[in-house]
Amino acid sequence: MRGNKKSYFLLFFYVGLALISYQYVENSIFTQHIVTAKYQMVDNLENGKTIPFEEVKSATVSDVFTAKSEELEAIGVLSIPQLALAVPVFPGISQNAMLIGAATMYPRRDPLKDNMIFLGHHLSEKGLLFGKLANAKKGQKIDLDYLGKSYHYVITEKKIIDEQEVNYIEENPAKTLTLLTCDKASETTKRILVKAKIVEMSQKSTANKQFSSKNSIEKIQQVSKKIIRKVYLQLFFFGLIAIVGTSVILFSNKI
């Protein structure tokens, strides 16, 4: 009888722990996928190459497991130092690309003439992808390495909009940057909008493009390492709880 009682206690304990830790396990899957993703940095858009433009919904764990096994080509890196945000930028819109970085809605637009638009997922782990835009503030700087050139912006506006407000993705005003992500990590019709104006642009010489590309990747890796340490520490904590809880139930004379 006592053995059956302990089995029930263990069952309830594990079910409860699984429900509590599910989000953290999900975060670890997303984090591992982002950190281990393979992509190549390029500084040009190949003529004639098809740029994807898919309908993308909120990211789920099943998207990670069904993602196509392919090496994507990143055309730049977008970073906001004050938010410790750094993500690779991919041409066009696809779930494959947005699971590891930001999508460029109109990759052939010119940052010195047009409104550049980038989309990113908002995951339950706020440190991943565009989740940190929730903490964006007016005056923060944005760095964009894009097709072999560097552009620097300052945030001028941040607000919540409806997904139907398409006027924000139009070409005008010129020389602006628009970042968009869901306002929460689930299905929603609201979007976080961050607008920025260009303040500086620099041309990369052929000699230092390789160095710059390496620096961009290092930015992403530094941010990723911080996030993965946090996520794995959380998993370790739940594993410790599981071990301690199991030991208490099995060896307790009162159960």
Question: Does residue 121 have an active-site annotation?
Answer: yes
In angstroms, the CA 148 to CA 234 distance is 38
DSSP 132: G
Map residue 152 onto helix, strand or coil: strand
Active-site option among 33, 122, 152, 182: 182
Q: Which amino acid does the sequence have at 236?
A: F
Whole-number Å distance between alpha carbons of 116 and 253: 66
Q: Are 88 and 71 a contacting pair, CB within 8 Å? A: no
Question: Measured on CA atoms in the order 116, 121, 127, 133, is the torsion positive or negative?
Answer: positive
Strands 85-91 and 76-80, by their bridges, are antiparallel
Of the residues 33, 121, 122, 152, only one is catalytic, namely 121
Q: Where are the alpha helices (DSSP H) in the chain?
A: 2-36, 61-66, 95-98, 209-251
Q: Are 82 and 138 in contact (CB under 8 A)?
A: no
What is the separation of C-alpha 101 from the centre of its chain, rounded to a whole number of angstroms?
Answer: 5
In the residue annotation, 33 being an active-site residue is answered as no
Q: In 109-203, which residue ranges form alpha helices assigned H by DSSP?
A: none
Q: Residues 6 or more apart from 243 whose CB is under 8 A from it?
A: none
Q: Which residues of 69-102 are buried (b: 16+ CB within 10 A; e: fewer)?
A: eeebbbbbbbbbeebebbbbbbbbbbbbbbbbbb
Residues tagged active-site? 121, 182
